[in-house]
């Protein structure tokens, strides 16, 4: 196990800076803290930079305001370019080493956006989405270039876990300092905390990656390191509970189940048996406790959900634009012309909230989102990414079955993607969202890691 002692100080400092950024209400303080953190990143040893840039992008790229986010994104690019130059100089010969499969994937993703834009009502909105997606893919390639040893993969994974912990601390702080949320929990049993992100689905999508990855480290770690990750797991589980994001909970449970099924099957049997016994005992002796379960998961609203109306809108758009969709970023502008509810009704108010507040992925379903905006071509490219993810993972399992660290990391990565695909039935973002950094970067960092291990033949110490 690679020791954390060498970089724990750096991570701790950035952790504190991020917490200050997240809990402060003063933009000036936030900007000063941000500049300090950026300066800190510039003077770091180069092997730590990609991981800490990942933390910065995950934790800060959706917070505060557009100006600060732009600064963070630009500095992140600058740091990764600096990392590339430190490793390869000014030569662009490394571009030739990008795996052909990844090159084809990136080209097809951008091409599907371009073709769909050409047939949309607003080509310029499409161009904006194309540029954002292109920039995102370039960002991921810079992360890929930075992975030249297995320890680099380790640092990225640790950064993802640390980001989840930071978000959890932010959620806990926001909840404990919000009298309204505490009152809502006491009176109705419902909690729906989003913290600084302002979107429970977004932060839930991050937990869908960070929690299974934390479990991976619990499995392979020992002694103090294992305890550290167990604490991280508890914090993130609390954070997931506070989001009350059913899609994220489904993704996390699915991923954890698959990880334990393959890596710790006996433990899984004990957990499942214990849960069944607990549920039976609760049902027999404390039936009122089950009411809390139904309240928390809002089972009474399963048949009264704005998602159904959004799915109806999506299906109507798909029916009218099956091949190329309405164009990237154009779903929003076609919602009302394909809506079947009355203006001014409660249902229309729910749809209007999505119209006014959702950044992208208004369909609340990954598959309908790709089909409605980009048509069949967009859905195919959307599915090509997880297919390549699974193909590389399969090759890794065959090649490194005797290397427990790589084998278990690959199983964890597969489980994460399967969980996200389940989540994709009720959420649009987290897999391929036209380059939305805060939503997609977690998933693509995991992909970058397994791709680097496979194509660059990075070996973990046994």
- pLDDT tens figures, 233-266: 999 999 998 888 888 999 999 999 999 999 999 9
Average pLDDT, the chain: 83
d(CA 155, CA 449): 10
Cβ contacts of 376-381, under 8 Å, gap ≥ 24: 376/322, 376/323, 377/112, 377/115, 377/116, 377/323, 377/324, 378/112, 378/113, 378/116, 378/325, 380/112, 381/105, 381/108, 381/109, 381/111, 381/112, 381/432
Confidence of residue 137 (pLDDT cuts 50, 70, 90): very high
Cβ contacts of 261-265, under 8 Å, gap ≥ 24: 262/411, 263/219, 263/408, 263/411, 264/219
Distances (CA, A) of 416 to 390, 393, 441, 444: 11, 12, 13, 11
- Whether 195 maps to a domain, the answer reads yes
Q: Which of 222, 203, 109, 107 is nearest to 163 (CA)?
A: 203
- Whether 461 maps to a domain, the answer reads no
* Domain interval for residue 78: 5-304+357-455
d(CA 18, CA 367): 34
- Whether 362 maps to a domain, the answer reads yes
pLDDT, one tens digit per residue, over 446-457 is 999 999 999 998
pLDDT over threshold 70, residue 9: no
**How many separate domains does the chain show?**
1
Confidence of residue 295 (pLDDT cuts 50, 70, 90): low
Backbone phi, psi, residue 48, to 5°: -90, -15
User: Quick one: pLDDT at residue 94?
Assistant: 80
- Whether 444 maps to a domain, the answer reads yes
Average pLDDT value for residue range 437-447:
93
- Whether 334 maps to a domain, the answer reads no
- For 77-211, list the strands marked E by DSSP: none
User: Quick one: pLDDT at residue 3?
Assistant: 47
Judged by DSSP in three states, 404 sits in helix
Confidence of residue 2 (pLDDT cuts 50, 70, 90): very low
- Whether 343 maps to a domain, the answer reads no
- Whether 348 maps to a domain, the answer reads no
pLDDT over threshold 80, residue 197: no
Q: Which of 124-128, 255-259, 301-305, 364-368 has the lowest mean pLDDT?
A: 301-305
Instruction: Confirm if 338 and 376 have CB atoms less than 8 A apart.
Output: no
Q: Which of 136-140, 168-172, 355-359 has the lowest mean pLDDT?
A: 355-359
pLDDT, one tens digit per residue, over 43-86 is 666 778 888 889 888 887 765 556 667 777 887 888 888 888 88
Q: Which of 15, 114, 25, 128 is nearest to 359 (CA)?
A: 128
pLDDT, one tens digit per residue, over 143-164 is 999 999 999 999 999 999 999 9
Q: Which of 30-34, 325-329, 349-353 has the lowest mean pLDDT?
A: 30-34
Q: Could you tell me which residue, 320 or 10, shows the higher pLDDT?
A: 320
CA end-to-end distance (rounded Å), the chain: 8
Please tell me which of 87-91, 196-200, 386-390 the model is most confident about, judged by mean pLDDT. Answer: 386-390
User: Quick one: pLDDT at residue 25?
Assistant: 45
User: Quick one: pLDDT at residue 243?
Assistant: 86
- Whether 311 maps to a domain, the answer reads no
d(CA 164, CA 233): 9
d(CA 178, CA 173): 8
User: Quick one: pLDDT at residue 29?
Assistant: 47
pLDDT over threshold 80, residue 379: yes
User: Quick one: pLDDT at residue 110?
Assistant: 96
The model carries a pTM of 0.87
Q: How far is CA 394 from the centre of its chain?
A: 22
How many other β-carbons are positioned within 10 Å of the β-carbon of residue 110? 17
């Amino acid at each position: 196990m690679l020791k954390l002692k060498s970089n724990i100080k750096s991570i701790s400092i950035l952790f504190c800076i991020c917490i200050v950024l997240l809990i402060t209400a003063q933009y000036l303080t936030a900007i000063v803290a941000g500049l300090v953190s950026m300066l800190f990143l510039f003077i770091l040893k180069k092997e730590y930079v990609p991981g800490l840039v990942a933390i910065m992008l995950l934790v800060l790229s959706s917070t505060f305001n557009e100006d600060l986010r732009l600064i963070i994104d630009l500095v992140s690019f600058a740091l990764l370019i600096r990392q590339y130059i430190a490793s390869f100089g000014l030569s662009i010969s490394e571009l030739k080493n990008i795996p052909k499969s990844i090159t084809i994937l990136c080209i097809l993703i951008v091409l599907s956006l371009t073709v769909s834009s050409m047939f949309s009502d607003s080509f310029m909105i499409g161009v904006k989405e194309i540029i954002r997606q292109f920039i995102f893919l370039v960002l991921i390639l810079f992360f890929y270039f930075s992975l030249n040893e297995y320890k680099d993969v380790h640092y990225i994974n640790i950064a993802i876990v640390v980001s989840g912990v930071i978000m959890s601390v932010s959620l806990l702080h926001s909840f404990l300092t919000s009298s309204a949320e505490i009152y809502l929990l006491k009176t109705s049993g419902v909690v729906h905390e989003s913290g600084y992100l302002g979107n429970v689905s977004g932060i839930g999508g991050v937990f869908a990656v960070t929690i299974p990855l934390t479990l991976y480290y619990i499995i392979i770690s020992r002694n103090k390191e294992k305890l550290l990750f167990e604490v991280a797991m508890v914090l993130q589980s609390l954070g997931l509970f506070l989001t009350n994001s059913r899609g994220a909970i489904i993704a996390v449970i699915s991923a954890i189940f698959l990880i334990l099924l393959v890596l710790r099957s006996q433990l899984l049997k004990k957990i499942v048996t214990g849960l069944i016994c607990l549920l039976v005992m609760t049902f027999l002796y404390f039936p009122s406790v089950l009411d809390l379960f139904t309240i928390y998961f809002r089972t009474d609203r399963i048949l009264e959900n704005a998602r159904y109306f959004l799915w109806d809108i999506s299906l109507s758009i798909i029916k009218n634009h099956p091949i190329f969709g309405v164009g990237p970023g154009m779903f929003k502008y076609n919602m009302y012309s394909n809506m079947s509810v009355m203006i001014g009704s409660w249902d229309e108010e729910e749809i209007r909230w999505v119209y006014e507040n959702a950044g992208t992925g208004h369909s609340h379903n990954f598959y309908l989102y790709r089909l409605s905006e980009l048509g069949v071509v967009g859905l195919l490219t959307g599915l090509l990414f997880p297919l390549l993810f699974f193909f590389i993972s399969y090759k890794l399992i065959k090649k490194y079955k005797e290397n427990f660290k790589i084998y278990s990391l690959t199983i964890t990565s597969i489980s994460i993607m399967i969980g996200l695909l389940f989540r994709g039935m009720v959420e649009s973002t987290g897999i391929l969202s036209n380059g939305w950094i805060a939503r997609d970067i977690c998933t693509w960092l995991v992909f970058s890691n397994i791709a680097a291990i496979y194509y660059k033949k990075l070996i973990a110490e046994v």
